[in-house]
């Protein structure tokens, strides 16, 4: 069996969540046959071009020459299975589907809903007046694509249900969960010392993470310092927004910004907990899985662990308000047994549900359900 895997960015064991997911899924496909990977970003770079956005905003407007080259490189036969990564590449999925090929859409998020959430977070009132039109176009574009492909892979049961509601007559939707980054599986497990050395990791140019980072720095850390003057916070991630850098220019010594870290392992090793006060976003949280697999206790909002199926008090501590985050951190910082229990249960969950074997099994099960008779 041959698989043609068409991706926006090159699949990598480290990098963005999309790259990590694509890498894990590629491994699952390789266990069942030959994999031909086509990287759209490389084709665009080779041609000196950039992709714009269609009116739906969630779809790429690929130049005709680039689209033609993608299709030429794919050259699938009727026996091949084509996996297209994301609604972003809808034009590719639609053309190949129209040729009668078996095309699977790997839906990293419910993109139309994520667009709406992001717009509302930026301008809660104006967005409802200014962006309703593009929300409708995005939902219709996503709904239409769900009808045209042979199957859809969602990253969680929650996303799968949402996609089915968006398009009840869509192609079959199966769950292939997000992966645990490989480095975190290899992280040495050790008891965390008393005290609060908190960590937040994420793409710091992504609005939901920027909002969470500011909240940690401006509100949660000062509350913690009132009860524990030794409390520390590290914000780490790729491409910090200029506004975030400026806000942290005069940060006290107990607050550190680590931009574009080459290696996350030392940051996770020195921390005693991770705080994740996310209030928006979509998909399932690879950064939560990363911390859990690395053995770092997690305190998170419901949104931060949405779609993972975690049980509060068993695999993580739940918090929503600033005061609740501070209270949970103070409790965790002085209770060794709680830290160790949370870390152990969380790692077992992350490895069992999102480790390499789990992803490979999910890919195999999803493919088996869609194999021609």
Q: Residue 53's beta-bridge partner residues?
A: 60
Q: Do domains 2-179+356-370 and 183-354 have the same CATH topology?
A: yes
Per-residue model confidence (pLDDT) at position 372 = 54
User: What pLDDT was estimated at residue 33?
Assistant: 94
Look-up of token digits 């993608």: 70
Q: Which helix (H) or strand (E) holds 317?
A: strand 317-318
What is the pLDDT, as a whole number, of residue 284? 53
pLDDT of res. 282: 58
Q: What interhelical angle do 336-354 and 356-370 show, nearest 10?
A: 30
- Enumerate the domain spans of the chain: 2-179+356-370, 183-354
> Which residues are 137's β-sheet partners?
none
At 195, which helix (H) or strand (E)? none
Structure tokens at 87: 């609604």
Q: What is the pLDDT along the chain (373 residues), one digit of tens a residue?
A: 899 999 999 999 887 888 999 999 999 999 999 999 999 999 999 999 999 999 999 999 999 999 999 999 998 888 899 999 999 999 999 999 999 999 999 998 899 998 898 888 778 788 888 898 999 999 999 999 999 999 999 999 999 999 999 988 878 999 999 999 989 998 988 889 999 999 999 989 888 899 999 999 999 999 999 999 999 999 999 899 999 999 898 888 899 999 999 899 999 999 999 999 998 765 558 899 999 999 999 999 999 999 899 999 999 999 999 999 999 999 999 999 999 999 999 999 999 999 999 999 999 999 998 765 4
CA dist 151 and 28 (Å) reads 17
Residue 251's pLDDT is 85
Task: Give the count of beta carbons closer than 10 Å to the beta carbon of residue 64.
Answer: 7
Instruction: Kindly state the tokens that stand for 185.
Output: 């599986």
Identify the residue whose tokens are 């940690």.
216
Q: The tokens of 231 are what?
A: 């409390």
Question: What does the block give as tokens for 163?
Answer: 């996609």
Give the C-alpha distances (Å, rounded to integers) separating 275 from 157, 209, 292, 314: 25, 12, 12, 16
- How far is the C-alpha of 132 from the C-alpha of 209, rounded, in Å? 24
Q: What is the pLDDT of residue 42?
A: 96
Going from the C-alpha of 204 to that of each of 39, 248, 250, 261, 361, the distances in angstroms are 25, 13, 18, 12, 33
For 187-192, the CB contacts below 8 A with 24+ separation are 187/265, 187/268, 187/269, 187/293, 187/294, 187/295, 188/269, 189/295, 189/343, 189/347, 190/269, 190/295, 191/336, 191/339, 191/340, 192/271, 192/272, 192/273, 192/296, 192/297, 192/336, 192/339, 192/340, 192/343
Domain boundaries 183-354, corresponding CATH code: 3.40.50.2000
**What per-residue confidence (pLDDT) applies to 119?**
84
How far does CA 37 lie from the centroid of its chain? 21
The strand order across the sheet containing 34-39 reads: 34-39, 2-7, 81-85, 102-107, 151-154, 173-175
Beta strand 52-53 with 60-61: parallel, antiparallel or unpaired? antiparallel
CATH 3.40.50.2000 fits 2-179+356-370, yes or no: yes
In this predicted structure, what is the pLDDT of residue 270?
94
Question: pTM of the prediction?
Answer: 0.89
DSSP state of 219: I
E strand or H helix at 235: strand 232-237
Rounded to whole angstroms, how far apart are CA atoms 12 and 26?
10
């Amino acid at each position: 069996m041959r698989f043609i895997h068409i991706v926006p960015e090159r699949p990598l064991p480290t990098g963005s969540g999309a790259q990590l997911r694509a890498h894990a899924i590629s491994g699952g496909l390789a266990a069942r046959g030959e994999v031909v990977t086509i990287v759209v970003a490389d084709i665009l770079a080779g041609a000196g071009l950039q992709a714009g956005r269609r009116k739906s905003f969630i779809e790429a407007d690929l130049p005709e020459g680039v689209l033609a080259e993608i299709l030429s490189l794919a050259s699938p036969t009727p026996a091949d299975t084509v996996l297209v990564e994301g609604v972003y590449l809808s034009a590719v999925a639609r053309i190949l589907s129209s040729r009668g090929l078996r095309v699977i859409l790997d839906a990293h998020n419910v993109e139309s809903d994520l667009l709406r959430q992001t717009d509302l977070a930026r301008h809660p009132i104006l967005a409802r007046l200014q962006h309703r039109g593009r929300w409708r176009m995005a939902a219709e574009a996503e709904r239409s694509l769900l009808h045209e492909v042979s199957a859809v892979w969602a990253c969680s049961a929650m996303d799968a249900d949402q996609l089915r509601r968006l398009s009840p007559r869509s192609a079959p939707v199966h769950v292939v969960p997000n992966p645990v980054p490989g480095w975190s599986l290899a992280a040495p497990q050790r008891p965390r010392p008393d005290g609060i050395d908190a960590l937040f990791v994420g793409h710091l140019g992504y609005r939901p993470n920027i909002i969470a980072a500011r909240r940690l720095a401006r509100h949660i850390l000062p509350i913690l310092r009132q009860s524990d003057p030794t409390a520390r916070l590290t914000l780490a991630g790729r491409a910090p927004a200029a506004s975030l850098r400026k806000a942290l220019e005069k940060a006290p010594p107990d607050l550190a910004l680590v931009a574009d870290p080459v290696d996350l392992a030392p940051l996770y090793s020195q921390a005693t907990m991770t705080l994740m006060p996310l209030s928006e976003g979509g998909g399932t949280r690879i950064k939560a899985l990363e911390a859990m697999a690395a053995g770092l206790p997690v305190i998170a909002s419901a949104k931060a662990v949405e779609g993972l199926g975690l049980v509060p008090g068993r695999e993580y501590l739940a918090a929503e308000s600033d005061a609740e985050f501070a209270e949970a951190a103070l409790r965790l910082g002085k209770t060794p047994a709680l830290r160790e229990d949370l870390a152990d249960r969380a790692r077992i969950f992350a490895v069992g549900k999102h480790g390499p074997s789990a992803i490979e099994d999910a890919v195999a099960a999803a493919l088996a359900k869609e194999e021609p008779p």
